[in-house]
Chains A and B, each alone.
Chain A
Amino acid sequence: MTSVSRNAALRRVSALVRKEAYQLVRDPSSIAIGVVMPVLLILLFGYALSLDVKAVPVAVVLEDTSPAASELAAGFRLSPYFDAEILTSMPRAEELMLDRRVDGIIRLRSEFSRRLASGDAAVQILVHGSDANRARIIEAYAEGAIGQWADQRSAEGYAAPEGAVTLQSRMWFNEADDSHYFLVPGLIVLIMTLIGAFLTTLVMAREWERGTFEAMFVTPVRSGEILLSKMIPYFVLGIGGLVLCILAAKFLFQVPLRGSVLVLAGVSTLYLLVSLAIGLLVSSATKSQFVSSMVTLVVTFLPAMMLSGFLFDLRSMPDLVRWISYALPARYYVALLQTIFLTGDIWPVIWPNAGMLAGMAAILLAATRAVTRKRLA
């Protein structure tokens, strides 16, 4: 490429980037997706989403009237974490649970005190599992309350053999769920996906729909230059979103950043490139704002929310879904974010995940480049 033609290419790209910036600032829907939504998400994650569960309505079913059982029931009634109703019949408790007037049942069977003496007493905990996270928390609270009671008993001299009380806990509708909740990684992955894939696909498809590409194609501009000019503004906007998230993490959520900002910026760049490529690829294939935004929502935003491991634990998912999650860039990005924020620059974790993202970025960008032609059909 001669320097003259390089200058011409540079001038075309900068003119297109400038045009994109004007449109971004003047179009209310772009502002809404690129600026208002990220800020809303941060506020939502910061204030509206609370993981603290208090005053859980539970039914304590006393089929045994021994003092030990009453003592345990009193522990539930006095705890600030529970709003306990003491019942004597299981059918009534089940009724309350089905009506969702209680979220859990703690059942002390009639043989409780007899078996307590022989060292194999059991307490049954039933939890409404329709909300897995809440169920898990309630279960842990109940275990805690019973453990506390057991500790107290042993302190009072009822030296029971190890394992005198075992818990039989069972979660209704959703067995054995366990996850770790990290807000900040989730927030970042959502905002990057929103700007990188969703906004980009919309603005690109808009050009196809309004016929503005048609006129632009018949000029000296090259298709690579058009792609570049679509990526640069939204890349910058995405990095802006990242900075906003880091600030929110530090000042709003008080989440430590144990790794380095540089590594964080590096892996975010990779993920942004992947998102941008998906957005551009989808809009080039569909050429319609409606279809491309729906497709992008389904292939990037929803999986980033549900299958990346920040909201729901991937280990508890069926094998098939877990295998699918390996195809999702968000999964690697969440793993990286969790490590960088909560542990530090752990290179054995960073290299393979960053490598996957880099590979995906390369493949998707090449595909985008191949698909985007100055052709209408």
Chain B
Amino acid sequence: MSEAGEAAPAVLARALRKSFRRETGETVAALDGVSLAVRPGTLAALVGPDGAGKTTLIRLIAGLMLADTGTLAVLGIDVAADPQAAQDRIGYMPQKFGLYEDLSVQENLDLYADLHGIDTAERAQRYPDLFAMTALGAFKTRLAGRLSGGMKQKLGLACTLIGSPALLLLDEPTVGVDPLSRRELWEIIRHLVDQQHLTVLLSTSYLDEAEHCHDAFVLREGKVLAQGRPAAVSALADGRVFRVMPPPGQAARDLQARLLDDPRVVDAVPEGGRVRLVRAARDDSGRDEQPVSARFEDGFMTLLKERQPAASFAAAAMKLDRPIARDDTMPVIRVHDLVRKFGDFSAVDHVSFEVRPGEIFGLLGPNGAGKTTTFRMLCGLLPATSGTLDVAGFDLRRARASARQRIGYVAQKFALYGQLTVKQNLEFFASAYGLERAAKRQRVAWAIEQFELRPLMHLASGQLPGGFKQRLAMAAALLHEPEILFLDEPTSGADPLARREFWRRITALASQGVTVVVTTHFMEEAEYCDRIAILDGGRILAQGTPAEVRGLAPPSVEREADMEDAFIAVVAQARDRAHAVAGAP
């Protein structure tokens, strides 16, 4: 690495600033004085939540946008002055992959080969390599629009690699993709860097992915919070990370919630039935706490806590006005043999599960697994093709309206009115749920109080920062005191702090009797759930408690298996079975 460090950087940014004007009129600084250097021949990651400025920075490097101030040299070229010279030598995969969906795999590749001026002889040499690497050889004639998320992402990568770029830019290549495909993609990227000495800069909101890189740049609100070797960030928490077993009868998430409220604790998350915690000082540990080595996320949280010492999750321990009355003997949601077809395609394919009152039930799976479709059917927004659906004691085929009074639904996209203020939105939704006068005033006041929305009450909802939008959406869904809350991908792209706070609220609600059904593609978030189901291709591949599902992972001597290992094992097994059935005489 030392020689590489002395060569001219592949990307050199000095004090980059870039602001955008929102539709609402105010200016937002996407990049606020960013300086960084990417060493040639290395793998570097831009790490941060949505809105941190990752995409803007990558687009500046790709010459697709101009910075307001600051300088940017890409491969030694001043990219603002001569973007084309840089673009001739860069490979870039945008977040949406940039594929032509009505062109086949081969046609997409040919198009990019022509754009890069790769002649027939070179193609004959390069295509077999690319097909071998991406395992797309069997799908050459398939339209790109018909590929799975993971395959699209590999095709997008192949298209950017065909021109033999000197620098590869990948914008959130792994978001929403199943863990198996993620793992494969990382193998490809590492191979490119190690064997072909390519320089790669990618962005990700998964903190654990930073650990695969030579350098990490942690971005937050347009600023570089930390940079350097990931191990240096992890080291910030060295000696202060422990695992602790909850006392018998207590769920890991309850202990985690209690620890999170402790000012001497920097961070706590449930992990493998225990709680992983980062202490503010080395010698604070309790007696049953087992020390473990620090990882990137631990260091990152330590950094954040240093910047925002006041950040606390205690307020997120919300209180309901009155506990949910419930009958614990009966499941509150019963789904049996549920099928939803769109044309020939089965988005949900014979799915069955039950959710008990007061449970947190997690649906895990990549994009396209059928999570959102299942949700829409459970909320009575989409009729089922076949099967039975029973929610809060109502058959959704007959009593949709009655069932809806008992459930709250937070959609994946922000579904409130951006032009209305926070208070107006809450009042509107209260009225929509049939609350009037005193009841309405009381519930709106409760929501503003419990979700800490008072300072922002008169701000247009569209102008709220991401985490507050999430809070407002949840507040609106709880106005009519539903006994079941559905949350579709609530933490996707969220800041780790916002994710902690969100789960603190969820665990508080569950402890007071609200049944919560949640989808996520963060595997580690399954640890907050009482029971989970793993969905892939519209089918449930495994379900049970997190411990039961973790047990499906192959045993390993190196480390304890986590949820991601289990997911990969389960998906790989199911795909093998499908092959075996297809191959049987």
- On A, residues with C-beta under 8 Å from B are 8, 11-12, 14-16, 18-19, 22-23, 26-27, 210-222, 374-377
Given contacts A12-B114, A374-B63, whether A219 and B163 have CB atoms under 8 Å apart is yes
**Contact between chains at A23 and B102 (CB < 8 Å):** yes
Q: Is B53 an interface residue (CB 8 A)?
A: no
- With the chains together, A27 CA to B100 CA distance in Å? 12
**Cα of A219 to Cα of B160 in the assembled complex, Å:** 9
Interface residues of B in 94-131 (CB under 8 A from A): 94-103, 107, 110-112, 114-117
Distance of A131 Cα from B514 Cα, bound (Å): 65
Contacts of B117 in A (CB 8 A): 8, 11-12, 220
Determine whether B88 belongs to the interface, using a CB cutoff of 8 Å to chain A.
yes
9 more CB-based (< 8 A) A-B contacts, given A23-B100, A215-B97, A217-B62: A12-B117, A212-B99, A214-B94, A215-B94, A218-B90, A219-B112, A219-B163, A374-B63, A376-B65
Report the Cα distance A260→B79, complex, angstroms: 53
Please give, as numbers and ranges, the residues of chain A lying within 8 Å of B156 by CB-CB distance: 215
Q: What is the bound-complex CA distance between A217 and B65, given in angstroms?
A: 11
Question: Is B439 part of the contact surface with A, judged by Cβ < 8 Å?
Answer: no
B141 at the interface (CB under 8 A from A): no
Determine the chain B residues whose CB is within 8 A of the CB of A210 once the complex forms: 96, 101
Interface hits, B49-94 → A, CB 8 Å: 59, 62-66, 83-84, 87-88, 90-94
Tell me the smallest distance from the CB of A3 to a CB of chain B, in Å.
13
A12 and B115 in contact (CB under 8 A), knowing A22-B107, A215-B156? yes
Whether the pair A15, B159 counts as a contact (CB closer than 8 A) is no
Which residue numbers of B lie inside 8 Å of A, CB to CB? 20, 59, 62-66, 83-84, 87-88, 90-103, 107, 110-112, 114-117, 143, 156, 159-160, 163, 169
Q: Enumerate chain B residues within 8 angstroms of A218, measured Cβ to Cβ.
A: 62-64, 87, 90-92, 169
A15 touches B115 (CB 8 A): yes
CB distance from A12 to the nearest CB of B (A): 5
Enumerate chain A residues within 8 angstroms of B87, measured Cβ to Cβ: 217-220, 374
B66 lies within 8 A of A216 (CB): no
Nearest-CB distance from B203 to chain A (Å)? 14
Q: For the complex, what is the distance from the CA of A55 to the CA of B98, rounded to whole Å?
A: 61
* Residue of B whose beta carbon sits closest to that of A5: B117
| Interface pairs (14), CB distance under 8 Å | A15-B110, A27-B102, A213-B98, A215-B94, A216-B115, A217-B64, A218-B62, A218-B87, A219-B116, A220-B163, A221-B115, A374-B64, A376-B64, A377-B20
Q: Find chain B residues with CB under 8 A from A22 CB.
A: 102-103, 107
Given contact pairs A15-B114, A22-B102, A216-B98, A375 touches B91 in the complex (Cβ within 8 A): no
Q: Which of these, B65, B83, B98, B114, contacts A212 with CB under 8 Å?
A: B98
Chain B proximity of A224: nearest CB distance (Å): 12
User: Across the two chains, which residue of chain A brings its CB closest to B66?
Assistant: A375
**Cα of A339 to Cα of B84 in the assembled complex, Å:** 48
Chain A contact residues: helix, strand, loop or mixed: helix
CB distance from B126 to the nearest CB of A (A): 16
- A139 to B338: give the CA distance in the assembly, Å: 69
Does A211 contact B95, Cβ atoms closer than 8 Å? yes
Q: Which residues of A contact B163 (CB under 8 A)?
A: 219-220
With A214-B64, A220-B116 already in contact, the answer to whether A23 and B111 are too (CB < 8 A) is no
Central interface residue in B66, B90, B98, B163, by most chain A CB within 10 Å: B98
Q: Which residues of A contact B88 (CB under 8 A)?
A: 219-220
Kindly provide the distance from the CB of B122 to the nearest chain A CB, expressed in whole angstroms: 13
Contact B115 A375 (CB under 8 A): no
In the bound assembly, the distance between CA atoms of A101 and B95 in angstroms comes to 63
Question: A219: which B residues are within 8 A, CB to CB?
Answer: 87-88, 112, 115-116, 163
In the complex formed, the residue of B with least CB distance to A211 is: B96
Taking CB atoms, residues of chain B closer than 8 Å to A375 are: 64-66
Residues of A within 8 A of B66 (CB): 375
Interface pairs A-B: 7 shortest CB-CB: A215-B98, A15-B114, A211-B96, A218-B92, A214-B94, A219-B115, A26-B102
Q: How far is the CB of A211 from chain B (nearest CB, A)?
A: 4
Q: How far does the Cβ of B164 sit from chain A's closest Cβ, in whole Å?
A: 12
**Contact indicator A220/B115 (Cβ below 8 Å):** yes
Nearest A-chain residue to B159, judged by Cβ = A215
A222 to B: closest C-beta gap in Å = 7
| Residue in chain B with minimal CB distance to A207 | B100
In Å, the complex CA distance between A18 and B111 comes to: 9
Kindly state the separation between the CA atoms of A26 and B146 in the bound complex, as whole angstroms: 14
A376 contact set on B, CB distance < 8 A: 59, 64-65
A219 to B111, CA, bound (A): 11
Q: Are A374 and B112 in contact (CB under 8 A)?
A: no
Give A215 to B62 CA distance when docked, in angstroms: 10
Shortest distance between the CB of A206 and any CB in chain B (Å): 10
**Closest partner residue, chain A, to B165 (CB atom):** A218
Task: Say how far A71's CB is from chain B's closest CB, in angstroms.
Answer: 71
Q: Could you say which residues of chain A place their CB within 8 Å of the CB of B65?
A: 375-377
- Asked, given contacts A15-B115, A218-B63, A219-B115, whether A212 binds B90 with beta carbons under 8 Å apart, the answer is no
The answer to whether A19 touches B63 (Cβ under 8 A) is no
For the complex, what is the distance from the CA of A27 to the CA of B110, rounded to whole Å? 20
In angstroms, how far is the closest chain A Cβ from the Cβ of B333? 37
A218, A221, A375 pick with most chain B CB within 10 angstroms: A218
In the assembled complex, the Cα of A218 lies from the Cα of B59 at a distance in Å of 10
Distance (whole angstroms) from the CB of B87 to the closest CB of chain A: 5
Please name all residues of chain B whose beta carbon is closer than 8 Å to the beta carbon of A18 when the two chains form the complex. 111
Which chain B residue lies CB-closest to A25? B102
| Cβ contact within 8 Å between A215 and B92 | yes
* B107 A211 Cβ-Cβ under 8 A: no
Q: Which residue of A lies closest to B117 (CB)?
A: A8
Query: In the bound complex, what is the Cα–Cα distance between A14 and B117 (angstroms)?
Result: 12
Question: Which residue of chain A has its CB nearest to the CB of B89?
Answer: A220
- Please indicate the chain A residues that have their CB under 8 angstroms from the CB of B143 in the complex: 26
Nearest CB of A to B428, in Å: 26
**Residues A19 and B111 in contact, CB atoms below 8 Å apart:** yes
